[in-house]
Structure 1
Amino acid sequence: MNKQATGDGTVGKALEVLDKVAAVGRPVRFSELLSESAHPKATLYRLLQTLVNQGMLAYDDKQQTYSLGIRLVRLAHAAWRQSSIAPIARPFISALSDEVGETVHLAQLDNGQVLYVDKRNPQNAIDMFSQAGKVGPGHCTGVGKALMAFQDPSEIDQIIQKQSFYRYTPATLVTEAALRAELDQIRQDGIAFDREEHEPGIICIAAPILSTKGRPVGALSVTTSTQRKNLDELMNARPALEQAASKIAAAVEDWQFPA
């Protein structure tokens, strides 16, 4: 059980159960949740019943499975509108994807990791991990490094401590020293790269979306496959990428970014 859930009492435990159900990615049986839960059987059942009663989970009597509830979906949509730059940025990332003919991602930081808040594909889309709503690693994604590089130094230290440095591919940066050197370079160049660091055959260039105070409120990337382009060819999209990031930054200037 994670420490945060324990410290937050019943609410923390209930949120932990919600996370477990969401992580499965399909309707899940009680026995499956119990096998991975730190809670006693009676406690887990009580938490599930409370979540069902509140509409945060749905229970299928026939299949005897739990899934995310409609109330949670409504809350997720409200959070997307209120706590994400995605609604404001959508027309700009759509235009960027059409212009460069490649996949465009919009991301924000979430507890040191990357939260993909929107994605636009060209007609000939390529298959990759990232989808809107998914959380990915910060240390080996272009948007993650772009977001990290422009934080305040003290915040960078905290974010780096939250990185797993898991080696996804032979190109993944797996040490703090290597990541810090990369972030220094990104601050100088204003652009970040994913050199097949998260997924084999997937590359990207990424730019931060900076407020007038230089604070990153998000990051934007243009992503493609090495079967289509190399990084030098992908760099042709840099002017359009940076222009889109600037337009989004201007559009969200009056938006109250959640602390």
Structure 2
Amino acid sequence: MAAETVRTAEASEPDLSSPISKALVVLDAVALAESPPRFVDLLNALPLSRATLHRQLRQLTREGMLAYDDVRQTYSMGMRVLKLAHSTWSRASLASVARNALDKLSTEIEETIHLAVLDNNQVLYVDKRLPPRSVSMFSSPGKIGPAYCTGVGKAMLSALSEPQLAEALKAQSFQRHTDKTLVNELMLRDELARIRERGHAFDDEEHEDTIICVALPILNKHGEPIGALSVTSTTYVTTLENMAKTYLPAMRTAVQEISENAQIALGV
């Protein structure tokens, strides 16, 4: 695996002032890697000495925060992190207040349904419903994805204030994933204007070939985005136009219910 596939959460210099901050930098790098990194990948990507990195990886693995694959000699997130994340989502997040609405929507729509939030101006998937038939795709709960080329990401970006949007756009990598990826700020801003006008976002094979989706932002009482809901399918099965016509009414009902529940339960 190339070293450049290991990315830290922020482009700015990481905080290395304490053992905890060093551990967090290592965890961020493993979590954001495109595939499980090896020691050499992390060593090349992080501003840590070989001895410090060895020490951090050994301790994090011992504590269950990381898992080490002896055969592939790679690191991945440990079960302790997954348990903490699951506990957080299930008790105090948008996922908990959205659960019933997602369950109802999944009985009406036999497609993949995603619930996501913005985290450091990227997409964090927090819940998912799969239909009886489904296709393999990037997204899964706990996974971080780009905001500029996903339906949920663009839906949330479209609802940000201009100062918030300007800050979010600075954080986008604008890497080309497919022939249809929006690869600069001007292209994305034009698309966000169209999303505001029509009220919903599309992913037109912009992140993964053949994968398409329609998405809606979930807003709080101030009109600010607290998340997004999407229905995802494939070009082998349907079209964006048909998805919008068929699924948006039920999606709007679900989004309204989630928004109202969030205002009550989370005080947003």
TM-score, length basis structure 1? 0.87
The count of corresponding residues between Structure 1 and Structure 2 is 257
Which structure 1 residue ranges, 5 or more long, are not aligned?
Answer: none
Q: Is 1:113 aligned with 2:117?
A: no
Indicate the residue corresponding to 2:5 in structure 1: none
Q: CA deviation at 1:161?
A: 1.0
Q: Where in structure 1 do 4 or more consecutive aligned residues deviate above 6 Å?
A: 59-65
With 6-15 and 53-62 compared, the bigger mean Cα shift is at: 53-62
Residue 96 (structure 1) aligned with residue 105 (structure 2): yes
Query: Residue 8 and residue 254 in structure 1: after superposition, are their counterparts in 2 closer, same or farther (change >3 A)?
Result: farther
Instruction: State how 1:241-256 maps to structure 2 within 5 Å.
Output: 241-256=251-266
2:172 is the alignment partner of 1:167: no
Counterpart of 1:39 in structure 2 is 48
The question of whether the paired residues in 1 share the 8 Å contact of 2:148 and 2:174 is answered with yes
Q: Which moved more, 1:139-148 or 1:49-58?
A: 49-58
Q: Secondary structure at the match of 2:54?
A: helix
Give % identity: 46
Name the CA distance, whole Å, in 2 between partners of 1:63 and 1:164. 29
Deviations 1:30-85 (A, max 9, x none): 55644554322211122234334544345689998765444333322233235531
Query: In 2, Cα distance between the equivalents of 1:129 and 1:109?
Result: 17
CA distance in 2, matches of 1:207, 1:241: 8
Letter in 1 for 2:254: A
Tell me which amino acid in the other structure corresponds to 1:234: M
Aligned to 1:240: 250
- Counterpart residue type for residue 156 of structure 1: L
Instruction: Show the counterpart of 1:225.
Output: 234
1:143 to 2:159 alignment: no
Contact 1:5 1:11 in 2 (8 A): no
Structure 2: distance between partners of 1:30 and 1:195: 37
How far the C-alpha of 1:187 sits from its partner, in A, is: 1.5
Can you list the C-alpha shifts for 1:1-45, whole angstroms capped at 9, x where unaligned? 76453355432221122233443755x765564455432221112
Q: Distance in 2 between matches of 1:75 and 1:31?
A: 28
RMSD: 2.6
Tell me which amino acid in the other structure corresponds to 1:200: D
Post-superposition offset of 1:254: 2.1
Pair 1:213-2:222 in alignment: yes
* Alpha-carbon distance in 2 for matches of 1:112, 1:17: 20
3-state SS of paired residue (1:253): helix
> TM-score normalized by structure 2?
0.85
Q: Which amino acid aligns with 1:164?
A: S
Matched, 1:87 2:96: yes
Asked if 1:122 is matched to 2:131, the reply is: yes
In structure 1, C-alpha distance between the alignment counterparts of 2:68 and 2:152, rounded to whole Å = 37
